[in-house]
Amino acid sequence: MKISGFQTFTLSDFPGMTAAIIFTQGCNFRCPFCHNGSLLNTNVDHNNLLSEQNVFEELESRKHILDGLVISGGEPTIQTDLLMFIRNVRDIGYKIKLDTNGNRPEIIKKLISENVLDYIAMDIKAPLEKYSCLSGVKVETNNILKSIEIISSAEVKSEFRTTCVPELLTETDIETIRSMIPSKTKYTVQKFIPEKAWNWPIAEIKETL
């Protein structure tokens, strides 16, 4: 696992749980409004990454005060050894929450079928017609729809969320996104913080919409 960050305690990122968070390195999207721009690049010096062993040791030492681990990014589903890593963390006694952009439904389906996830949060970037623009790459939107279906029908707690950039997403867009998921599914609209944005060429983006 390519791990670039480790937050040892949070009360707000894993509903109902005291948790730690790891941030995986690398993402298959390039959303200009991303708050974790330093995590986008896949090719990084391994000397700048955290060792799995150190993470396991820290989790072992804190298991008396923590319930779960949030695996965020970057995009965790591009990590080739994600399943093995999760199994190792669960062996310590932790519950697992996965944060994902939903672009790899086959990985999400595999993790659910292996019964290693306790919570899934999927970011929905935009209505389908705007997806590639707001994700910064060409997106196969069928993958997004497949992930929504897989997650919403699974017997795993879940939520969907959208970072609302007022200049790029209208109220109608938000309503359209909400209509993409089952009505009783948890959906959260998150506030956009421009100061934390990775790359924000707003004029260029608006021209393509």
Please write the tens of the pLDDT for every residue from 198-208: 776 665 665 56
What pLDDT is recorded for position 47? 80
Please enumerate, as own/partner, the contacts of 76-80 that have beta carbons within 8 Å and a separation of 24 or more: 76/24, 76/100, 77/103, 77/104, 77/107, 77/108, 78/24, 78/26, 78/27, 78/28, 78/42, 78/104, 79/1, 79/2, 79/24, 79/26
**Is the previous residue joined to 102 through a cis bond, with omega within 30 degrees of 0?**
no
**Phi, psi (degrees; rounded to nearest 5) at 79:** -80, 125
Q: Is the pLDDT of residue 88 over 70?
A: yes
Find the mean pLDDT for residues 76-81: 97
Distance CA 31, CA 201 (A): 11
Element (DSSP H or E) covering residue 79: none
Q: What is the model's pLDDT at position 204?
A: 62
Note the pTM of the prediction, 2 decimals: 0.94
* Percent of the chain whose predicted confidence (pLDDT) is above 90: 81
User: What H or E segment, with its residue span, contains residue 55?
Assistant: helix 52-61
> Residue 208 has what pLDDT?
64
At 104, the pLDDT band (50, 70, 90 cuts) reads: very high
What confidence score (pLDDT) does residue 142 get? 98
Domain total for the chain? 1
| pLDDT, position 167 | 87
Helix pair 82-92, 105-113: axis angle to 10 deg: 30
Confidence at residue 141, expressed as pLDDT on a 0 to 100 scale:
98
Question: Average pLDDT, stretch 58-84?
Answer: 97
More confident residue, 196 or 160: 160
**Res 172: pLDDT:** 97
**Residue 193 to residues 165, 170, 187, 198, Cα–Cα distance (Å):** 9, 17, 19, 11
Rg (CA), the chain: 17
Q: What is the pLDDT of residue 206?
A: 59
Q: Can you tell me the distance from the alpha carbon of 18 to that of 93, in angstroms, rounded to the nearest whole number?
A: 13
pLDDT of residue 96: 98
For residue 32, name the pLDDT band (cuts at 50, 70, 90): confident
Q: At 150, which CATH number?
A: 3.20.20.70
How many beta carbons lie within 10 A of that of residue 30, not counting itself?
13
Residue ranges making up the domain that contains 67: 3-208
* Mean pLDDT of all residues belonging to the chain: 93
pLDDT-derived band at 209 (thresholds 50, 70, 90) equals low
The pLDDT value recorded for residue 28 is: 96
| pLDDT at 126 > cutoff 60 | yes
Query: Are residues 168 and 115 in contact, defined by beta-carbon separation less than 8 angstroms?
Result: no
Please state the rounded mean pLDDT for residues 32-48: 86
